Structure 1
């Protein structure tokens, strides 16, 4: 009987372990399937989020005044604010007061692939449907640059606002370098924080070559192309001086396009002086006319609210699962580390298709 009991216990433990493994595998598969499904339906699940900044600022002020003022002062202030609100509503009802100009605030936090353009393009489309003549768009931009074609698209999205006659201000609190500055220069006005990194109007591409290692290991590598310049430099083949010369010529062409783009939107800029690949801090960039003012985005929004303008943040919220959130956090961390390590001065040129 004791032998049978031991067998039953061991068999029960075996079944429990087996069930645990099966459940774990099932959960993993479900997790992967869910992640794939979320990725496919990403844009369909996106939602437009709008927040009235004035209300948040009023709540902050009320909270502080509640602590700083005595009861009589706080009551008098509340009474005065109610009277002003009543007078404002009455004036609007009688048509004596026009609606305050609105400030729409959009965010762009760029990585090497300018992935945030997918959300920004939808937010711009939404704003373009309601924007009026006296409205303004403020883009809070942060980017160390990245692939040329990706940042070209991102800059083109901002150009949609300019082409529609919308006043566009770009605010840089920390970093707008290389492709980031390509976007920023589209703004009618660029405002940077005192120590924000600005500029890096240049192009760079780098590629490792393992040809000597392959030869040392007696490994053959063959590359067949149709077209003289389908491939200029390769990672595994033996590169030629002709290929290097063509590759450098393509980089120069890209640099010329970059400079022409900046010159188009900022004609007063001495492009040859600043298109050296160098970067400058906000106060230095102001002297070089890379930016128009030194301030933070918080200053701009608070000033607009104090001037009686309605300030709204507009963004696209992407509903993502755990895997997508972890991937996004890793992407942003890598992008910031690259920027802080000095690689912010780079416009990456992608491998030819």
Structure 2
């Protein structure tokens, strides 16, 4: 009788509806800069703590939209999610939006179930280092490069110096170690459903539908429908935000009057960061 009466009562006196907290992890993964917060452990820690504080929640969900970035920050976020899931005995649902590639997919591995849109981009299980070489440009411009070091390898892979094969091989060995760590994570989390496709760990990426066939994800679906199908049509979704940076925090000393001299100091670097991040998204046609 009491439970029946509670269903008619408003607010906190009535029967509470199930709530599933959702943390949105969006953007390139890496350290913060003066003009962007960056998707890293520090920027998501508060949101993770809040999401796992919903003691009655049947699960914690993550909505991921990331082309990748720092392997270290990706791994740290993954480990923190799994740690909190184990401590709080919560099921983790991961929903992929446009893309979960490279480090974005590494984070997605924290999910007990990974759900994607059929047109999501998933995969890119590999490691890449990219840069430019300016040696011929310096020669044409008549500029001399002067570097003084203590430690003969301190200018390894310097973009203003000719490449050294030994340095390239050293970089490749580091990439191989990081790649093996990534592969071990995929096999540990998904080994029972992975296909034996030769390209699985080649760095290729696929649509969500193909990724399901390869065993990289579990099913096709969307966040709201999946949650209501699993936990009831009355289940509510509660989005938990991550740290954002506002203009006053972009530029030191910024106020209503503005500070153009200080802004000028950080805007060129911001433009380069924006181009670098855009190149990550562009790789996946986004």
User: Under a length normalisation based on structure 1, what TM-score does the superposition of the two structures give?
Assistant: 0.61
Is contact 1:112-1:335 (8 Å) kept? no
Task: Assess if the C-alpha contact under 8 Å between 1:304 and 1:310 holds in 2.
Answer: no
Question: Which residue of 149, 152, 169 corresponds with 2:93?
Answer: 169
Please give the TM-score of this superposition, normalised by the length of structure 2: 0.74
Contact 2:126 2:202 in 1 (8 A): yes
Equivalent residue for 2:239, pick from 296, 313, 326: 313
- SS in structure 2 of the partner of residue 150 of structure 1: helix
Matches of 1:225 and 1:266, distance apart in 2: 46
Question: 1:342: Cα distance to partner?
Answer: 1.6
Aligned to 2:146: 221
Distance 1:319 1:242, change over 3 A: closer
Q: Which runs of 5+ in 2 are unaligned?
A: 32-37, 252-266
State the shift of 1:110 in Å.
1.9
- Summarize the Cα distance change of 1:304–1:330 in structure 2 as closer, same or farther, 3 Å threshold: farther
> Which residue pairs with 2:45 in the alignment?
121
- Picking from 78, 96, 110, the partner of 2:27 is 110
- What do residues 273-329 of structure 1 show as CA deviations (whole Å, max 9, x unaligned)? 41111110011111001110101223224435743334322224647236749x9x9
**Following TM superposition, by how much is the alpha carbon of 1:232 offset from its aligned partner in structure 2, in angstroms?**
3.0
Q: Deviations over 1:87-128 (max 9, x none)?
A: 6257xx9xxx8x654311111112242613344210111233
Corresponding residue for residue 7 of structure 2? 88
Aligned residue number for residue 297 of structure 1: 223
Q: Does structure 2 retain, via aligned residues, the 8 Å contact 1:141–1:184?
A: yes
Counterpart in the other structure of 1:70: none
Matching residue of 1:151 = 74
Contact 1:108-1:139 within 8 A present in 2 as well: yes
**Bigger Rg over Cα:** 1
Give the CA RMSD over aligned residues.
3.7
Question: 2:22 is paired with a residue of what secondary structure?
Answer: strand
Unaligned runs of 5+ in 1: 1-83, 346-353
With over 3 angstroms needed to count, the CA separation of the structure-2 counterparts of 1:292 and 1:308, relative to structure 1, is same
Which residue number corresponds to residue 256 of structure 1? Answer: 180
Distance 1:237 1:167, change over 3 A: same
Query: Does structure 2 retain, via aligned residues, the 8 Å contact 1:192–1:294?
Result: yes
**Distance in structure 2 (CA, Å) of the matches to 1:85 and 1:174:** 43
Greater share of residues in helix: 1
Matched, 1:209 2:126: no
Q: 1:332 to 1:212 in 2, by over 3 A?
A: closer
Q: CA deviation at 1:335?
A: 7.7
**CA 1:236–1:313: 2 relative to 1, 3 Å:** same
Change (3 A) 1:193 1:253: same
SS at match of 1:206: coil
Matched, 1:341 2:282: yes
- Size of the aligned set, in residue pairs, is 255
